[in-house]
Amino acid sequence: MQTPSPDLQAIPPDVFCLADYERHASHNMPAGAWAYLQGGAADEHTLQANARAWQAISLVPRVLRRTAGGHTRTELFGRTMAHPLMLAPIAYQLLAHPEGEIGSALAAAAQEAGYVLSTQSSTALEDIADATALDHLRGPLWMQLYLQPDREFTRLLIKRAEAAGYEALVLTVDAPTSGVRDRERRAGFRLPEGVSAVNLRGMSTPPSPTLSPEQSALFDGLLHHAPTWDDIAWLKQVTRLPILLKGVLHPDDARLAVQAGVQGIIVSNHGGRTLDTAITTARALPRVVDAVGSDVPVLVDGGIRRGTDVLKALALGARAVLIGRPAVHALATAGALGVAHAIRLLRDELEAAMALTGCATLADIGPALLADD
């Protein structure tokens, strides 16, 4: 694996927004790692449409409103957060920089942002918790979870997260199989030596079934282990932590999640990495919010690149947003310092957008700020 040179620890002088970090990261990362972390499914229509959907929403600002003394504070699961920004779960961050997930988590803590660790982290979940434990101003620390075929291993993984101090579980539900990732396959990507899903070490793998020629390896094999709504009931029995479902796009699924006792929903299309041409998160968000009402917090990710995007997401009913690829771009460019800078850039842009639309607090942000077109 290519190791970034020491001068990549400094923030380049020409970085003024998240897009600038993407440009630098594309040159700093090996081609295979870039294809894996940056690529999407199939023709990448959803990947590209996510950002365009936020851009297409027009703001209708208010003027001459008192905004002095405003703030970006919000509350989520009993925690007061300095702002509604969180880092989304991204696997194998050692591909981007030697600091990997530790760097991202420390950056999030320094900027009071929430952090969601991937099940497929290349750093142990305990090490992440230990690295941020003494920062009392840090945002929430959550653990993303894929339900594994080995349910006992999954239960023990959850207990490890609870013992380490994680505050919620984020169950990803939109990837019963991997998407058709052509860019990744063309690059011939393989995990390099020294990068692996360390939290899954020791897990037993079910034997592959013997299939007849007319059977499908997917439908008659892999999908027998895919989670269903019954597994939500099982999960609620084995953990005391709040459970959020990540990957909900359909309002009917949002209603089923609430009926199942899920405490939060993350509107996500997996960054366009699973089902290509899936609805954008900007379009799906208000439908999900309407389906669940105000009692269940709804978060969103996918294509958010500007503070105005964050404001639009909040106006559509999101309680917080998660940032994925931009954080990896910043990590690949300047390590933890870059990630912290990227979060600060987005927060500063959100504050500017609030001031320019006449919003002193997040409570002032609502659908009336959005054009009907």
- The reported pLDDT for the residue numbered 7 is 46
- Enter the tokens of residue 312: 């639009």
Residue 35 sits in a domain of what CATH number?
A: 3.20.20.70
> Residue 278's domain spans which residues?
6-57+71-197+226-368
Number of folded domains that form the chain: 1
CB-based burial label for 228 (10 Å; 0-12, 13-18, 19+): exposed
1 in a structural domain = no
- The reported pLDDT for the residue numbered 9 is 66
List residues with catalytic annotation: 270
216 in a structural domain = no
CB 166 within 8 A of CB 125: yes
The pTM assigned to this predicted structure is: 0.95
219 in a structural domain = no
Distance of alpha carbon 256 from alpha carbon 243, whole angstroms: 14
Long-range contacts of 63-69 (CB under 8 A, 24+ apart): 63/358, 64/358, 65/358, 65/359, 65/360, 66/360, 67/354, 67/355, 67/358, 67/359, 67/360, 68/360, 69/360
- The reported pLDDT for the residue numbered 207 is 76
pLDDT tens digit string along 103-153? 999 999 999 999 999 999 999 999 999 999 999 899 999 999 999 989 999
pLDDT tens digit string along 73-111? 999 999 999 999 999 999 999 999 999 999 999 999 999
Residue 201: partners with Cβ closer than 8 Å, 6 or more residues away: none
150 in a structural domain = yes
64 in a structural domain = no
**Helical ranges in 196-324 per DSSP H:** 229-238, 251-259, 281-292, 307-315
- The reported pLDDT for the residue numbered 224 is 73
DSSP code, position 354: H
CB 46 within 8 A of CB 354: no
245 in a structural domain = yes
- The reported pLDDT for the residue numbered 319 is 98
314 in a structural domain = yes
CB 278 within 8 A of CB 46: yes
Distance of alpha carbon 328 from alpha carbon 25, whole angstroms: 8
CB 83 within 8 A of CB 289: no
311 in a structural domain = yes
Regions of the chain short of the pLDDT cut 70: 1-9
